[in-house]
Chain A
Amino acid sequence: MGSSSSNMNHIPDAEELMQETGFSSAHLLRLYERFEFLDREKRGELTPDDFEAVGRLALNPIGGRIIGAFFSQGQETVDFASFVRILAHFRPADTNRRDGAPQDPANSRTRKLKFAFQLYDQDGDGMISRVELLQVLRAMMGIQVTEEQLQSIAERAIQEADLDRDDAISFDEFKKSLEKVNIDHKMSILFLR
């Protein structure tokens, strides 16, 4: 613990980040080490290239999109605070909420869903269009299926979720279509301390 607290000093705004994201100091420290590891040029920022250096991401069908999710609109780099804030989406829900935690923490159901939704919604218009859905499907299913199969799956998915018949899935519809899924279980990973 002693060493970690000394290292904590290197982390900018550590206290605030912990407060905001709910990560413990051990978590934060671990993530900071990771961040520094990824940041090969030691600029204190990560570029998309830094992410792509993570080998296995290349194998991930939607790895590119996830990398993209770390960079807010128009930004070329991501600093540690943003990095942690994004990862905070994947914390499991707190069993007992701490005081001072933000009203709508990043690991809330809605925020988790929003994150996933934005991975689909690449043009950021708040709707998953048929084309966008198809892109994701194609990425995930690879060469295993024909275009027609993709089409029909996408079609079906949109029909199912599309409540207002605008041929696209809005966030509300997205949320609704997943309302029976335990998002907290399915969109969380265990951050070891």
Chain B
Amino acid sequence: MLPLGVMLLLLLTAAAAAAADVTGTGAPPLLEPGLGFSSPVPASPSAPPLLLLPRPQADHGAPGVALARSAAEESPGPGVEVEEGEHHHHHGGGYKIVQWEWSYVQTPYIIAIWLLLASVAKILFHFSQRFTTVVPESCMLILLGLVLGGVVLIANKKQLYQLEPALFFLFLLPTIVGDAGYFMPARLFFDNLGAILTYAVVGTLWNAFCTGFCLYAAKLLGVIDERVQAELLDFLLFGALISAVDPVAVLAVFEEVHVNDTLFIIVFGESLVNDAVTVVLYKVYISFVEVGAENVQTVDYFKGVASFLVVSIGGTMVGLVFAVILGFITRFTKKVRIIEPLFVFLLVYLAYLTAELFSLSAILSMTFCGIGANKYVEANISQKSRTTVKYTMKTLASIAETIIFIFLGISAVDKSKWAWDTGLVSCTLIFILIFRAMGVIGQTWVLNRFRLVPLDKLDQVVMSYGGLRGAVAFALVVLLDGNQVKAKDYFVATTIVVVFFTVMFQGLTIKPLVKWLKVPRSTSRKPTINEEIHERAFDHILTAVEDIAGLQGYHHWRDKWEQFDKNYLSKLLLRKSVYRKSELWEAYQKINIRDAINVIDQGGNVLTSARLSLPSMASRASFPEVTNVTNYLRENGSGVCLDLQAIDNVPGAKVEEDTETHHVLAENLYKPRRRYQSHYSRHFMPLGEKERQDREVFQRNMKSRMETFKSSRHKRHKKERSLKKRRGSDVKEDGSDKPRRNVSWQDKNPVVVPVESEEEKGDHSDPEKEEDVGITFVARKPETPKQRPQSVPAALDGPQSPASGPASPPIGDSHLPWKGSVGSPPPCVSVEATKIIPVDLQQAWNQSISSLESISSPTALPEPFHPRVSALARLGGTRPASYTPPGSTPPGSTVGSNSSIGPQVSQGPLRFPEKKKKKEEDDEEEEDGGAAQEMQPLMSSLRPPGPLPPPPPPPGFAPGSARRRNPCVYLRSLVSAPPPGSGEPHSRGPTQL
């Protein structure tokens, strides 16, 4: 059903596209008046010779893109003339209000339409889950291409489009290879480098020669028709171009099959590296064909071998040189974060072009540039740039792949290029399959003697079967000169059949085959921190053992390389601030983020899931880490983090969506400020705006605080019911324009104000954080069943006797994450001192958990408040002023201007954690500018050491910390009081007065 629908849709799209694209001969008269299509004549000149699509049909083909507006207007083809004549007629000459500028926009327009078409096609394929799991996308794209080609052919009588080699080699292929190289798992690649090189060089040579010679033999035997005018050299040439495994096809198919990593990297690596072999063979044979077989001298063979070395090694070197340049440049982009990604793209692409320039192996060059630069670039550029690079590369590669397959399909529908010979086609197919299998088995047999992990029979089957041919072969065969290679048309047809057969038939069947053979699949499981640690230890152990046993093995050399890298390369290519960072630490960070995402992802009950995924979370020392997670999330803005994961981690996307849905309210709350923030700056991201923002945030908070304070006065009795409303009023008031001055004198409680503002400020200083804050704000409900029993009584008790409050902190903490932390250290303890105090660990933990909770379960807000709120209400007037540290009063007046300092001084104890967070955020601010990594050390230094703290009991929250914080209970309960504005300000107000 669905597939059928999809096909229908596709057809429609195809037709539409064809209509749009075909400015062909048949259509114009019809289209011109109605749609205003210009006649074919003006259209064709602007057909881009360089870029893609329409092959210039008339002899006007020359100017191409250069045909700029003026040209288009001044020297219009006949069609335009007609059109303009019409215009003249209508407007009476002179200035035309509306002009039809098709020839002006044609090239980019057609490109854009193609891209759009390809993207839409992709969407349509993925409508049906079941369908896409069975049929690889590449198959569908080729089919779509065939259909489109048919439509174009029918509409046009002539094939307009085909996969132009220039377009393919200069634009489409590099995007795919660049992506592949840059994100190549380097360790895996080099672990299997021996096998990859063997298969790529020996295997490809074997395939090429055997196929060539056997085809020639078949020709001599008469299996191949007489019409195929080809000599031995022609067949060798054909063998060379048809025998190389194609990276595009392999990627497209294997990515859906998910075979185990080793298998994948060997096949994929081979497909990339064999480019050098293919290029050389191809060029050598071409030159031989040009001079004629009889003129080839022995020297030329040696030249061929030398050429191979130059092309492969040269290509690699070019790539590495560019990798170094790229690494070096990104060292200095701190001030211009915004163009960081561009550097990556440009230099990787330049590596490709430069290799092409010297006719070296461009694919090798680009691959090694990517592999080489990745480590340093990723470390140097900011988190956002990383995300940008990742997304852009994947997008480009994906669309390039789509276009390649579509065009392969279209190109096949072009009778003028074809010459069919069953003998040639079937012989080629058979030889290719046989020799691939033979080559793989033979080489594996040899390789296994030297491999630690032998490749077993299943692997060999998959490798043989996975030797897909693709667009590279096609582009090469199209490039052949028909005058010199007489059988070109036969070769083209054969290549198309081979490509279709491997991509479609093998691509379609490889998945069932892999399943049926039970080839080990790759697991998408990410390593745990233990695995990260121990595997590093294993590496060291193996290196040591190799040294002791006197073996100059793989680990020995890897270790040497790592030393070299550490001592020289990293120093040269990494920023100083980044240089000191350890990979293990990075891994640790990543795992933390992943955990956080998982926790959120697992749905509502964060506590449970936290317990599940982080088994001993409850044990005391876990806090720093969790803090870490949350902060990381917050700092980066959940959006970014999740994005980061989204590509390899589907859940990530889901989370993101969820969060977004859940936070409509949050967004509303802060909309005014948000609008304010989103001013435009081309060169700088939010950076530098901070101060202004802070003030703004502060003011708004003050305002809303006041409003809610007022409203809470009236509604105190119906707390529960009013809660929602109040929040609503919050929203409104947030946007309202009351002068800030109002706030400071009306709300005379300096304590409250600074605290809040400080907190808010902290939270908001990073624009991205906004959402998170909003979330926490709104989603007050976080209590899990487990917690609630504790929290409720606590809430009630807290106010009555400060000392009895052990359980109360959890409530507050869990309810208002950022507030929860407020209560902790005893007043007057200096911020510095508190850093070491374990209590804050606890808070951090609570804070993070609750923020997570709130993220995940923002909906269930109101109920938990009730008890606490009422408790607070009872408390209201009695709250002892003494609890506000003396220093706290002054800031009240200076609040507005002084928000950051005032609160800190006065409320040291209260906001200490905030401060910590804030610091981190400050760092983050910088990072916004770009240096994500640079802040790590700082963060970590701020983070209290794990092991120290006295053990807070499992689900961990309250008791321990509460006891410790006893003196602060009042404050805490104050602070932890529900929504920003409701009970709290009120109760405090009196104190102040």
A binds B: yes
User: Hey, which bits of chain A sit against chain B, CB under 8 A?
Assistant: 31, 33-34, 37-38, 51, 54, 56-57, 59-63, 66-67, 70, 87, 90, 92, 95, 115-116, 119-120, 130, 133, 136-137, 140-149, 151-163, 165, 167, 177-178, 180-181, 184-192
For A187, the chain B residues whose CB sits under 8 A away are 538, 541-542
For B581, the chain A residues whose CB sits under 8 A away are 144-145
Contact B541 A34 (CB under 8 A): no
Contacts A66-B548, A165-B619; is A189 near B542 (CB within 8 Å)? Answer: yes
Measured in the bound complex, the distance between the Cα atoms of B625 and A87 in whole Å is: 38
Residue from B540, B545, B624 within 8 A of A152 (CB atoms): B624
Contact A140 B537 (CB under 8 A): yes
Contact A136 B537 (CB under 8 A): yes
Contacts A56-B559, A180-B531, A191-B549; is A156 near B588 (CB within 8 Å)? Answer: yes
Task: State the Cβ distance, A180 to closest chain B Cβ, in Å.
Answer: 7
Task: State the Cβ distance, B543 to closest chain A Cβ, in Å.
Answer: 6
Task: State the Cβ distance, A95 to closest chain B Cβ, in Å.
Answer: 7
Measured in the bound complex, the distance between the Cα atoms of B622 and A60 in whole Å is: 31
Contacts A153-B585, A180-B525; is A185 near B453 (CB within 8 Å)? Answer: yes
A-B contact pairs, 20 of them (CB 8 A): A51-B548, A57-B544, A57-B547, A60-B559, A148-B624, A149-B936, A151-B946, A152-B624, A153-B533, A153-B584, A155-B946, A156-B529, A156-B591, A159-B617, A160-B614, A180-B525, A181-B534, A184-B453, A189-B452, A189-B545
Of A37, A62, A143, the most chain B CB neighbours within 10 A belong to A62
Contact A54 B452 (CB under 8 A): no
Smallest Cβ-Cβ distance to B614: which chain A residue: A159
Contact A152 B533 (CB under 8 A): no
List B829-867 residues whose CB lies under 8 Å from chain A.
Answer: none
Interface residue B92 (Cβ < 8 Å from any Cβ of A)? no
Contact A149 B585 (CB under 8 A): yes
Interface residue B941 (Cβ < 8 Å from any Cβ of A)? yes
Interface residue B256 (Cβ < 8 Å from any Cβ of A)? no
Residue from B523, B544, B944 within 8 A of A66 (CB atoms): B544
Interchain residue pairs A-B with the least CB separation, the first 7: A155-B946, A144-B582, A159-B616, A34-B550, A177-B530, A66-B544, A149-B940
Other A-B contacts than A56-B543, A90-B542, A190-B553, 12 sampled, CB-CB below 8 A, are: A34-B548, A60-B547, A63-B547, A140-B536, A140-B537, A145-B581, A147-B945, A152-B628, A152-B946, A153-B529, A153-B533, A155-B625
Contact B582 A60 (CB under 8 A): no
Contact B530 A66 (CB under 8 A): no
Contact A119 B541 (CB under 8 A): yes
Residue from B550, B941, B943 within 8 A of A37 (CB atoms): B550
For A130, the chain B residues whose CB sits under 8 A away are 947
For A148, the chain B residues whose CB sits under 8 A away are 624, 940-941, 943-945
For A156, the chain B residues whose CB sits under 8 A away are 529, 588, 591-592, 622, 625
Contact A152 B588 (CB under 8 A): yes
For A149, the chain B residues whose CB sits under 8 A away are 582, 585, 588, 936-937, 940
Task: State the Cβ distance, B16 to closest chain A Cβ, in Å.
Answer: 50
For B529, the chain A residues whose CB sits under 8 A away are 153, 156-157, 160
Smallest Cβ-Cβ distance to A161: which chain B residue: B530
Task: State the Cβ distance, B834 to closest chain A Cβ, in Å.
Answer: 15
Residue from B451, B943, B946 within 8 A of A154 (CB atoms): B946
Task: State the Cβ distance, B976 to closest chain A Cβ, in Å.
Answer: 26
For B945, the chain A residues whose CB sits under 8 A away are 147-148, 151-152
Contact B585 A31 (CB under 8 A): no
Residue from A51, A157, A191 within 8 A of B533 (CB atoms): A157
Residue from B530, B548, B624, B941 within 8 A of A54 (CB atoms): B548
Interface of B is mostly: helix
Task: State the Cβ distance, B456 to closest chain A Cβ, in Å.
Answer: 9
Smallest Cβ-Cβ distance to B592: which chain A residue: A156
For B937, the chain A residues whose CB sits under 8 A away are 145-146, 149
Contact A189 B544 (CB under 8 A): no
Contacts A90-B545, A155-B625; is A178 near B530 (CB within 8 Å)? Answer: yes
Contact B616 A185 (CB under 8 A): no
Task: State the Cβ distance, A1 to closest chain B Cβ, in Å.
Answer: 18
For A181, the chain B residues whose CB sits under 8 A away are 531, 534-535
Smallest Cβ-Cβ distance to A84: which chain B residue: B549
Contact B622 A34 (CB under 8 A): no
List B507-536 residues whose CB lies under 8 Å from chain A.
Answer: 523, 525, 528-531, 533-536
Q: How many residues of B contact A (CB 8 A)?
A: 62
List B536-566 residues whose CB lies under 8 Å from chain A.
Answer: 536-538, 540-551, 553-556, 559, 563
Of A34, A115, A159, A165, the most chain B CB neighbours within 10 A belong to A159
Measured in the bound complex, the distance between the Cα atoms of B623 and A148 in whole Å is: 13
Contact A62 B453 (CB under 8 A): no
Contact A140 B535 (CB under 8 A): no
Contacts A87-B545, A151-B945, A189-B551; is A160 near B540 (CB within 8 Å)? Answer: no
Task: State the Cβ distance, B945 to closest chain A Cβ, in Å.
Answer: 5
Interface residue B29 (Cβ < 8 Å from any Cβ of A)? no
Contact A62 B943 (CB under 8 A): no
Contacts A153-B529, A165-B616; is A116 near B534 (CB within 8 Å)? Answer: yes
Interface residue B580 (Cβ < 8 Å from any Cβ of A)? yes
Residue from A137, A155, A188 within 8 A of B624 (CB atoms): A155
Of B530, B546, B944, the most chain A CB neighbours within 10 A belong to B530
Contacts A153-B529, A160-B530; is A62 near B545 (CB within 8 Å)? Answer: no
Measured in the bound complex, the distance between the Cα atoms of B452 and A36 in whole Å is: 26
Contact B624 A151 (CB under 8 A): yes
For A119, the chain B residues whose CB sits under 8 A away are 537, 541
Contact B615 A163 (CB under 8 A): yes
Measured in the bound complex, the distance between the Cα atoms of B559 and A60 in whole Å is: 9
Measured in the bound complex, the distance between the Cα atoms of B531 and A184 in whole Å is: 14
Measured in the bound complex, the distance between the Cα atoms of B545 and A87 in whole Å is: 7
Contact A62 B537 (CB under 8 A): yes
Contact B943 A137 (CB under 8 A): no
Contact B541 A62 (CB under 8 A): yes
Contact B530 A190 (CB under 8 A): no
For A59, the chain B residues whose CB sits under 8 A away are 559, 563
Of A51, A63, A154, A155, the most chain B CB neighbours within 10 A belong to A155
Task: State the Cβ distance, A167 to closest chain B Cβ, in Å.
Answer: 7
Interface residue B5 (Cβ < 8 Å from any Cβ of A)? no
List B910-943 residues whose CB lies under 8 Å from chain A.
Answer: 936-937, 940-941, 943
Contact B619 A116 (CB under 8 A): no
For B584, the chain A residues whose CB sits under 8 A away are 137, 140-141, 145, 153
Residue from B582, B591, B615, B621 within 8 A of A145 (CB atoms): B582
Interface string of B429-463 (1 = CB under 8 A from A): 00000000000000000000011111000000000
Contact B547 A54 (CB under 8 A): yes
Of B543, B549, B616, the most chain A CB neighbours within 10 A belong to B549
Interface string of B591-618 (1 = CB under 8 A from A): 1100000000000000000000011110
Contact B553 A95 (CB under 8 A): no
Measured in the bound complex, the distance between the Cα atoms of B591 and A185 in whole Å is: 23
Contact B548 A116 (CB under 8 A): no
Task: State the Cβ distance, A159 to closest chain B Cβ, in Å.
Answer: 4
Smallest Cβ-Cβ distance to A192: which chain B residue: B551
Smallest Cβ-Cβ distance to B534: which chain A residue: A178
For A38, the chain B residues whose CB sits under 8 A away are 548, 550
Of B533, B940, B945, the most chain A CB neighbours within 10 A belong to B533
For B523, the chain A residues whose CB sits under 8 A away are 180
For A54, the chain B residues whose CB sits under 8 A away are 547-548
Task: State the Cβ distance, A24 to closest chain B Cβ, in Å.
Answer: 13
Residue from A67, A116, A141, A152 within 8 A of B582 (CB atoms): A141
For B545, the chain A residues whose CB sits under 8 A away are 66, 87, 90, 189
Measured in the bound complex, the distance between the Cα atoms of B451 and A60 in whole Å is: 25
For A92, the chain B residues whose CB sits under 8 A away are 452-453
Measured in the bound complex, the distance between the Cα atoms of B530 and A170 in whole Å is: 13
Task: State the Cβ distance, B720 to closest chain A Cβ, in Å.
Answer: 38
Task: State the Cβ distance, A193 to closest chain B Cβ, in Å.
Answer: 9
Residue from A37, A56, A120, A155 within 8 A of B547 (CB atoms): A56
For A180, the chain B residues whose CB sits under 8 A away are 523, 525, 531
